[in-house]
Amino acid sequence: MAEAIGTCLLYWNLDQIFTVTVDNASSNDVTVRELSKQLNNWETNIMNGKHLHVRCMAHILNLIVQEGLKEIDASVKRVRQMVRYVRSSSARGAHFKKCCEVQKVECSKSLELDVPTRWNSTYLMLDTAQHFEKAFDRFDFFDENFKTYLATHVCEDGSVAGPVACDDWANVRNVVKFLERFHELTVKVSGSHYVTSNVHFEDICELDVHLKVCLESEDVSLCIMAERMRQKFKKYWGDPEKMNKMIFIASVLDPRKKFVYVNFGLEELFGEEVGKKVSEGVYDYMKSLFGEYLKNYSREFHHKSSPSTSSSSQCSSDVSSNSDASLKKKALRTKLDLKKQKEDSGCAGAKSELDRYISEDQELEDERVEFSILDWWKVNAPRFPVLSELA
């Protein structure tokens, strides 16, 4: 698989890869490891690929929620069977519509049948079905085969769902309310027209708080569900050593958060002692990564500022003296900027630039204006030229 990916990258003329996001299949661990070796051969693997492997957040969310849904599996099966029965023919759909009219069920949504392996589709099915509770409870008066179907039809796992139990709808309402946060987050992290990496760590922290609150609920089923989900949560986000440090660094590079939020979030997730230790490791790693970008920045600067001997003779007759003066002026201005950087830091421009960014106050967020992290770094790139490349 790594060889196939490498071939595609060459075909697309992409040899500089920062991270690779994949699901949690064990085969992907091998794939990313081999791909890292390929990038080493191309001499484009920053930090020897330590940050290359990123586990897909949407996939982890799916695993966490699927674990929780096992607690009310029977209720979900019964609702799924009811929805499947109504949607299986136009005649049954017409009977169900008549039942809704008699029961005065007013809902503009249509019943949706889920894909069991995709929890968010199960959430949408339950969210819609709960509005038709009164209709389902009386549907046997409009379709005499309804109860027989529920009592005899075999589900995908070989079991029979059976008729609706007294607590099924209560379970559905509770789980829909509980999973709403997870659904919103899944939609958010699946977006492709906006940046999500800078809020990755914040979302993890918010989920942790949400699960802790649910653990204190008076609803026993909800508590058990939250406990199962929290155990799965800890499997992927409970050990900081197994988490890609770029999750934390991306949050630091959000001017609204920086290390103030990251330090607090780490202590909330892992405890004060471990949180401080992890925070120190993140800062050290960030300095090392920043150093790599400084090397590339310096090489690019020298390449741009040094004259091209191979083409000088060819262009000497075509380039005017004004153009030469303009180029020299631009090169001098760039050198002056670098000199100011070094003066500000004492000696090391990269260290000073990173420390100045971190030490500055967090960016105040105006709720009336939608914040764009890309625009912020574009505006502030002259102040943080190397750091903006990393961001």
| pLDDT digits 0-9 by tens, 207-253 | 999 999 988 888 888 888 899 999 999 999 999 988 999 999 999 99
Are residue 28 and residue 99 in the same domain, yes or no? Answer: no
The answer to whether 128 touches 96, Cβ cutoff 8 Å, is no
- Is-above-0.85 flag for pTM? no
**Of 142, 176, 210, which residue is a domain's last?**
176
Whose CA is closest to 232, among 51, 28, 70, 26?
70
Whose CA is closest to 115, among 76, 153, 150?
76
Residue indicated by tokens 């091998």: 30
Residue indicated by tokens 């059976």: 162
- Per-residue model confidence (pLDDT) at position 370: 81
Are residue 130 and residue 81 in the same domain, yes or no? Answer: yes
Are residue 43 and residue 76 in the same domain, yes or no? Answer: no
- Per-residue model confidence (pLDDT) at position 324: 52
Report yes or no on 348 lying in a domain. Answer: no
In the three-class reduction of DSSP (H, G, I as helix; E, B as strand; rest coil), residue 113 is classed as coil
Are residue 45 and residue 71 in the same domain, yes or no? Answer: no
Report yes or no on 42 lying in a domain. Answer: yes
- Per-residue model confidence (pLDDT) at position 303: 52
Report yes or no on 144 lying in a domain. Answer: yes
**Of 176, 195, 213, which residue is a domain's last?**
176
Are residue 129 and residue 99 in the same domain, yes or no? Answer: yes
The answer to whether 79 touches 173, Cβ cutoff 8 Å, is no
Report yes or no on 202 lying in a domain. Answer: no
Are residue 38 and residue 75 in the same domain, yes or no? Answer: no
Are residue 30 and residue 87 in the same domain, yes or no? Answer: no
Number of domains into which the chain is organized:
2
Report yes or no on 121 lying in a domain. Answer: yes
Say which residues have a Cβ less than 8 Å from residue 346's Cβ, sequence separation at least 6: 352
**Of 131, 147, 176, which residue is a domain's last?**
176
Report yes or no on 244 lying in a domain. Answer: no
Are residue 85 and residue 127 in the same domain, yes or no? Answer: yes
Range of the domain at 41: 2-55
Are residue 86 and residue 162 in the same domain, yes or no? Answer: yes
Positions of the chain with pLDDT lower than 50, given as ranges: 308-323, 327, 329, 344-349
Q: At what angle do helices 258-270 and 200-215 cross, to 10 degrees?
A: 40
Report yes or no on 358 lying in a domain. Answer: no
Report yes or no on 82 lying in a domain. Answer: yes
In the three-class reduction of DSSP (H, G, I as helix; E, B as strand; rest coil), residue 222 is classed as helix
- Per-residue model confidence (pLDDT) at position 298: 65
**Which run of H or E residues covers position 20?**
strand 20-22
3-state DSSP percent of the chain in helix, strand and coil, to 5: 70, 0, 25
Are residue 111 and residue 85 in the same domain, yes or no? Answer: yes
d(CA 204, CA 196): 12
Cα separation values, 145 from 63, 140, 279, 368, Å: 36, 7, 62, 56
Express each pLDDT in 14-39 by its tens digit: 888 888 888 888 888 899 989 989 88
Are residue 72 and residue 165 in the same domain, yes or no? Answer: yes
- Per-residue model confidence (pLDDT) at position 260: 92
Are residue 130 and residue 154 in the same domain, yes or no? Answer: yes
